[in-house]
Amino acid sequence: MKATIRIRRFNPEKDKKPYWATYTLEDCEPTNRVLELLHRIKWEQDGTLTLRRSCAQGICGSDAMRINGRNRLACKVLLQEFGENPKIQVEPILGLPVIKDLVVDMEPFFAHYRAVMPYLVNETPPPVGPDGKPRERLQSVEARERFDDTTKCILCAACTTSCPSFWANGAYVGPAAIVQAHRFIFDDRDQLLKERLDVLADPDGVWRCRTIYNCTPACPRGIEVTRAIGEVKKAIQAGKRDF
């Protein structure tokens, strides 16, 4: 089948402002992924087309982009969902400065990620086995299950850059950073609960979320983002992880 792809292009070395360019591809298969189409354009037609991608199978999080108005991973969208005569529009994710074509500056995103102290802290000496060597800290199946959903996050930024509150105010930490914080807040091995909740209680923290709900359908990993944010809000109000 034939596919038509409209891409938002911008090369800072040449262009004063972004523009739309349209490409046609013959011999597409319904099972082709949008990433494959972008590759074909880059390889066969115009090598200047620039995008990030790596694993091409939905786990590395490189190729989040706005596809027909929704934030998706280009490697997880199959042509077949656009019907017999597919027309696809691709543009960079919103709310982060564009570097070139579909590549945006991820640094503000990762700065928010780092701000929530995304690492486990536990100063209690770990248990020791019969042989005198350190063993794992025990955790119940239920306690592990408590934060399972948010461990799936791949930091692709699809949620954060779908959030109107983030578009309006880039200082807001955004859904992805809150998801990452949730993963530690609800891990009963972690001992940095108070500090983390303090960061998220900041005016640019979790309360900037207006429960618009764009983030949840944007997540390519199926994480219930809005629910995780809600749980963090409750933990802040309760001042503890069990509320």
- Residues of the shown chain interacting with another protein in the complex, contacts defined by CB under 8 A: 11-14, 31, 42-44, 46-48, 50-62, 76, 78, 99-100, 103, 106, 110, 114, 117-122, 126, 133-141, 144, 147-148, 151-152, 154-155, 183-184, 187, 189-190, 222
CB-neighbour burial class of residue 156 (10 A; exposed 0-12, middle 13-18, buried 19+): buried
Q: Which amino acid type is present at position 22?
A: T
Q: Which is nearer to another protein, 119 or 243 (CB)?
A: 119
Closest alpha carbon to 204 in 238, 165, 240 = 165
How far apart CA 80 and CA 61 sit, in angstroms, is 22
Q: Which is nearer to another protein, 165 or 220 (CB)?
A: 220
How far apart CA 23 and CA 47 sit, in angstroms, is 13
Q: Which is nearer to another protein, 31 or 85 (CB)?
A: 31
Q: How far is the CB of 120 from another protein (least distance, A)?
A: 3
Q: How far is the CB of 144 from another protein (least distance, A)?
A: 5
How far apart CA 2 and CA 153 sit, in angstroms, is 34
CB-neighbour burial class of residue 94 (10 A; exposed 0-12, middle 13-18, buried 19+): middle
Q: How far is the CB of 72 from another protein (least distance, A)?
A: 11
Q: Which is nearer to another protein, 8 or 100 (CB)?
A: 100
Q: How far is the CB of 17 from another protein (least distance, A)?
A: 16
